[in-house]
Homo-oligomer: A and B are copies of this chain.
């Protein structure tokens, strides 16, 4: 975070950076951080800022994937569906994550905005050309893939082996950590997901999620306001309910 600020200062004196990028919150996140000024210019020529409403699908399972995007603001759900409608969220992406599955024409999952979201989208062809020119770009994409792989595997443990109580606590802890990575501290935040989404992320039903949240509330592990706002007085305590090994 410090570093981002310092770099931003430098950018002000660097007139080579495209205007749209110089003001971009994700200038150094996503894929843009590794690009040179000219590559950034090239990319920004084809880039389009878009605002996405919560619930609107950005790409569907089985559709052609013609775009990559940086998430500027908001949370995006990645999910998979069975033919009979059962659904599982397989990943959440937060700003300033990069979105898109390199080297694949067709999406194996659907991406949908969970909250109000801003993205900066560019055609896959441009990215794939830049990969050949910018040595650091593939490395950045590789790191993002590895990060997502680690997260997916962590979540497999949650899905396969934790109780409903632990699943819900793990989810709350995940969100709390994204808001503020400091361990054991008090936290307060709005849930980016509805109960239905949380259920789809945890492999549970809406009702079970609701009951477990109530249970955590009654035990004093969390407080809840307006059903979306959550207060965690002691996130170490939450951790214990989440079955997280530390």
**Chain A interface residues (CB < 8 Å from chain B):** 78, 80-84, 86-88, 90-91, 101-104, 108-109, 135, 138-139, 141-143, 145-146, 148-150, 152-157, 159-162, 200, 202-203, 243, 245
Contact = CB atoms under 8 A, between A and B. Distances in A.
6 contacts: A80-B156, A88-B156, A90-B153, A91-B153, A145-B145, A156-B156
B146 A90 contact: no
Contact of A148 (B104, B135, B149): B149
A233 to B, nearest CB: 23
Given A138-B138, A161-B203, A203-B161, A90 B156 contact: yes
Given A139-B138, A245-B82, A159 B103 contact: no
A208 to B, nearest CB: 13
Name which of A108, A143, A203 has the most chain B CB atoms within 10 A of its CB: A203
A148 B196 CA distance: 28
B203 A159 contact: yes
State how many copies of this chain the complex holds.
2
Nearest to A150: B108
Contacts of A80: 153-154, 156-157
Contacts of A161: 82, 86-88, 203
A154 B202 CA distance: 15
A10 B120 CA distance: 47
Contact of A146 (B78, B91, B103, B155): B103
A82 B162 CA distance: 9
Name which of A103, A141, A161, A200 has the most chain B CB atoms within 10 A of its CB: A161
A242 to B, nearest CB: 10
Contact of A243 (B82, B155, B156): B82
Contact of A152 (B83, B152, B202): B152
Contact of A141 (B142, B159, B160, B200): B142
A135 B134 CA distance: 11
Given A101-B146, A156-B156, 5 more contacts: A80-B153, A90-B156, A104-B146, A145-B146, A148-B149
B153 A108 contact: yes
A207 to B, nearest CB: 16
Contacts of A154: 80, 108
B142 A138 contact: yes
Contacts of A135: 135
